[in-house]
């Protein structure tokens, strides 16, 4: 919506100038904080409550003008307002110049406004303090709740430990949020089903009322979910007494109106945080895209990585991982993956050795989700050879054909056009990326053929 108004006295008493304003507003997604930026060209002073870049060097463009951008939230909706005020001098020449400047600065305001509006879809990730007061980028800490349903029903287990680095969603709720938590869990259950065979984990964590026993909390949880059948999402109770030390890492809110906090995470790191979802169907829509975008960054099961070399092996650290799939594209458990590569000098065995068994080697067995993971070093190229550096894989699984893979590395100077022309079905070119800890990493999924 665009609304044009005018007002007098904007630039102070005694001025004969008029001031023009152009307001724009645009709805966007729910979010958790307001942003405002203003520029006063008469003082060359800018005011910021958030990082929205606007140049403060506007004196030469607009005399006594003001330019700004308001981003805020009203009734759960994201609103953007751009405002612009300009003193138009009585001199016709200056007036014409300022009119051109006005149009130029309006373009700047609209550009900033639209950029901010496009970014607004994720501003909910910085929501106000809620039931659980961790922030995006924080570690999602391990804790040991009592499992009311799911594969560990009737005992305690740490979801972060059991399900490791796969994408996950934890729905934290107190007793007053149970109705909304059931709606969130039902939607999450549908999303996880739709994402198959990609695997995500979802669970509800009930924080009992002060003084309530675990048994009482379990009764409340079961009653709230009695009409909500769940296939993938399981229910837990976080006993404040038994989990006091671990729950302290979540900075539990004590004085807040938040009834639920939903944490979407991967690699034990919070990626998106929502407060009080479930009030209506529209509020549940972001759950699926929030999980989907994590699969590109997913590095599952770091703790299950099989070492192909000792930790002090010379060379650049490399971890590679992936899933073994059956002929239908479904995860294949208990497949064996043999991996081996040269050392940093390009040798499989030390010079003079009579062994033909590669020194840097290991065997991994895929887990129930079909994942394997290795840690090694970047292999060196063979001495006196133009072959690219590479890693060998042999994959075996019952009632499937034995499969070979040779991994070449994008960016290897030996990977020439001629070599690319030699590619066969067993050779793949992988692209490495470097993590913040300096370790190179890549993913390779392998689909087997039935025997």
Please state, in angstroms and rounded to a whole number, the distance separating the CA atoms of residues 160 and 191: 20
User: Band of the pLDDT at 187, cuts 50, 70, 90?
Assistant: very high
CATH (domain of 436): 2.60.130.10
Q: Residue 97's pLDDT is what?
A: 54
For range 103-128, the mean pLDDT: 48
Cα first-last separation, the chain = 63
Q: Is the dihedral angle over the CA atoms 105, 108, 110, 113 positive or is it negative?
A: negative
DSSP 346-387: S-SS-TT----S-SEEEEEE--TT-EEEEEEEPPPPPTT--P
Statement to judge: residues 274 and 315 lie in one domain: no
Q: Is the peptide bond before 197 cis (omega within 30 degrees of 0)?
A: yes
Q: Residue 234's pLDDT is what?
A: 97
For range 50-60, the mean pLDDT: 36
pTM above 0.75, yes or no: no
Distances (CA, A) of 363 to 138, 183, 309, 400, 404: 34, 43, 12, 18, 14
Statement to judge: residues 273 and 368 lie in one domain: no
* Domain span holding position 377: 302-447
315 pLDDT above the threshold of 80: yes
Q: What are phi and psi for residue 193, nearest 5 degrees? A: -65, -40
Higher pLDDT, 73 or 306: 306
Statement to judge: residues 281 and 360 lie in one domain: no
CATH (domain of 217): 3.40.30.10
99: helix, strand or coil: helix
Q: Residue 31's pLDDT is what?
A: 35
204: helix, strand or coil: strand
Residue 132 falls within a domain, yes or no?
Answer: no
Statement to judge: residues 93 and 155 lie in one domain: no
Q: How many domains does the chain have?
A: 3
Statement to judge: residues 313 and 420 lie in one domain: yes
Higher pLDDT, 213 or 409: 409
What's the pLDDT tens digit per position in 268-279?
889 999 988 888
The tokens for 79 are 């609103």
* CA 393, chain centre distance (Å): 30
Please state, in angstroms and rounded to a whole number, the distance separating the CA atoms of residues 449 and 451: 6
For range 253-264, the mean pLDDT: 75
Statement to judge: residues 68 and 165 lie in one domain: no
Statement to judge: residues 283 and 253 lie in one domain: yes
Residue 361 falls within a domain, yes or no?
Answer: yes
- Quickly count: other Cβ atoms within 10 Å of residue 147's Cβ: 20
- From 255, 273, 292, give the residue that closes a domain: 292
If you average pLDDT over every residue of the chain, what do you get?
A: 76
What's the pLDDT tens digit per position in 35-47?
333 333 333 333 3
The least confident of 95-104, 185-194, 309-318, 331-340 is 95-104
Statement to judge: residues 157 and 286 lie in one domain: yes
What's the pLDDT tens digit per position in 158-180?
998 888 667 899 999 999 899 99
Statement to judge: residues 259 and 307 lie in one domain: no
Q: Where are the alpha helices (DSSP H) in 80-213?
A: 92-119, 159-163, 178-195
Q: Residue 181's pLDDT is what?
A: 95
Residue 410 falls within a domain, yes or no?
Answer: yes
Residue 134 falls within a domain, yes or no?
Answer: no
Statement to judge: residues 250 and 319 lie in one domain: no
């Amino acid at each position: 919506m665009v609304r044009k108004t005018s007002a007098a006295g904007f630039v102070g008493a005694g001025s004969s100038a008029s001031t023009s304003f152009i307001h724009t507003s645009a709805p966007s997604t729910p979010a958790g904080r307001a942003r405002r930026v203003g520029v006063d060209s008469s003082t060359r002073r800018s005011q910021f409550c958030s990082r929205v870049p606007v140049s403060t060097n506007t004196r030469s463009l607009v005399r006594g003008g003001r330019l700004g951008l308001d981003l805020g939230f009203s009734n759960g909706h994201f609103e953007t307002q751009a405002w612009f005020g300009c003193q138009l001098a009585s001199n016709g020449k200056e007036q014409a110049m300022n009119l051109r400047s006005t149009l130029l600065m309006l373009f700047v305001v609209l550009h900033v406004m639209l950029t901010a509006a496009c970014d607004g879809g994720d501003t909910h990730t910085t929501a106000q303090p809620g039931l659980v007061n961790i922030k995006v980028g924080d570690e999602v800490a391990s804790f040991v709740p009592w499992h009311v349903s799911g594969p560990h029903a009737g005992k305690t287990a740490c979801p972060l430990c059991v399900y490791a680095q796969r994408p996950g969603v934890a729905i934290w709720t107190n007793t007053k949020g149970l109705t909304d938590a059931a709606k969130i869990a039902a939607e999450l259950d549908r999303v996880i089903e739709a994402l198959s065979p990609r695997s995500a984990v979802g669970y509800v964590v009930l924080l009992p009322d002060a003084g309530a026993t675990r048994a009482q909390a379990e009764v409340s949880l079961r009653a709230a979910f009695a009409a909500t059948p769940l296939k993938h999402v399981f229910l837990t109770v976080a006993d404040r007494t038994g989990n006091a030390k671990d729950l302290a890492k979540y900075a539990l809110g004590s004085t807040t109106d938040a009834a639920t906090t939903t944490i979407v995470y991967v690699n034990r790191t919070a990626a998106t945080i929502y407060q009080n979802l479930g009030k209506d169907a529209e509020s549940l829509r972001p759950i699926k895209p929030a999980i989907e975008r994590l699969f590109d960054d997913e590095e599952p099961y770091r703790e299950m990585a099989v070492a192909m070399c000792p930790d002090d092996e010379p060379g650049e650290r490399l971890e590679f991982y992936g899933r073994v799939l059956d002929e239908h594209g479904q995860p294949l458990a208990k497949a064996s993956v043999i991996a081996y590569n040269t050392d940093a000098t390009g040798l499989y065995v030390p010079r003079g050795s009579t062994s033909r068994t590669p020194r840097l080697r290991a065997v991994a067995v895929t887990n129930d989700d079909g994942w394997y993971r290795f840690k090694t070093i970047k292999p060196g190229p063979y001495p006196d050879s133009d072959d690219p550096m590479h890693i060998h894989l042999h994959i075996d699984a019952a009632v499937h054909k034995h499969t070979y893979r040779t991994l070449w590395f994008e960016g290897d100077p030996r990977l020439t056009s001629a070599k690319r022309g030699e590619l066969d079905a067993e050779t793949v070119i992988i692209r490495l990326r470097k993590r913040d800890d300096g370790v190179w990493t890549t993913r390779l999924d392998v689909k087997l053929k039935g025997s």
